[in-house]
Amino acid sequence: MIKIIKEEFKRLSEQERAAHLQKYFKTGKGEYGEGDVFLGLRVPTIRNIAKKFNTLSIDEAKEFLQSPYHEERLFALFVLIDLFKKAKEKDRKKIYDLYLKNTNFINNWDLVDASSPTILGGYLFDKNRSLLYDLANSDNLWKQRIAIISTLYFIRRNDFYDTLAISELLLHHQHDLIHKAVGWMLREVGKQDMNVLREFLNENINTIPRTTLRYSIERMNESERKKYLLR
């Protein structure tokens, strides 16, 4: 099965698109995706492969999660998400543990954003969430992004505490990818309860990065957006 899937990836690969993706995902020296390698597959194509081979086990998915190819890692995450949604607690814990042991392979924003809300957020929803704070306080960009994006699962269930707390921890971060991630999650909070977002912004308006602010207020009306941007 693994060999067949790898052959499918090679058959569908596009060199020209791979070159474009390596630029888009900043894989050059010193960039955030340094050294990553692409085959040149589109996301819908990867999703279709995941649906086609939906009988993979957790252990088989692990092999793809540790692939040098970005698209194969994304494929593994799609498989693990599907397995997680269907799994009982024992296998959910196995997927959660596998995820945490392989965060070095979940090393770009699309990989994080596709997977962390379901797998980490979904697993931790009714459990102790201190792990997310450990990730937020690490010195690894992707672990920090995992920490904040995982809270999307909570937000959609009207649980905002950890999103706001982790957002506050990350307000002084230097990287634009964290500014955008925090702004996105704050915007999602606002979609559920705009007053909660307003309160957070009012308390942190002097320290919130401009990018974070712009992302967070996108759902407000124009006049209110202008008021925040002028403060």
Q: Where do the structural domains in the chain lie, given as residue ranges?
A: 1-127, 129-231
DSSP 129: -
- Please state the separation of Cα 101 from the chain's center in Å: 16
Q: How confident is the model at residue 34 (pLDDT cuts 50, 70, 90)?
A: very high
Q: How many Å apart are CA 8 and CA 19, to the nearest integer?
A: 19
- The answer to whether the Cα torsion of 103, 109, 113, 114 is positive or negative is negative
Q: How many Cα atoms sit within 13 Å of 224 on the Cβ side?
A: 13
pTM of the complete model: 0.96
Pick the CATH number of 1-127 from 3.30.1330.60, 1.25.10.90, 3.30.910.20, 1.20.58.2240: 1.25.10.90
pLDDT > 90? residue 168: yes
What's the mean pLDDT in 51-74? 96
For the chain, what percentages of helix, strand and coil (3-state, to nearest 5) are there? 70, 0, 30
What's the mean pLDDT in 10-33? 97
For the chain, give the mean pLDDT.
97
Tell me, yes or no, if the two domains 1-127 and 129-231 fold the same way.
yes
Q: How many Å apart are CA 46 and CA 55, to the nearest integer?
A: 15
What's the mean pLDDT in 215-223? 97
Q: Residue 15: what pLDDT? A: 95
- Please state the separation of Cα 56 from the chain's center in Å: 23
Q: How confident is the model at residue 231 (pLDDT cuts 50, 70, 90)?
A: confident
Q: What percent of the chain has pLDDT over 70?
A: 100
In the CATH hierarchy, which fold is given to the domain comprising 129-231? Leucine-rich Repeat Variant (1.25.10)
* Distances 142 to 33, 39, 177 between C-alpha atoms, Å: 10, 22, 9
* CB-based contacts of 54, cutoff 8 Å, min separation 6: 79, 82
What's the mean pLDDT in 225-231? 94
Residues 212 and 180 sit within 8 Å (Cβ to Cβ): yes
pLDDT > 90? residue 65: yes
pLDDT > 90? residue 71: yes
Q: Residue 227: what pLDDT? A: 95
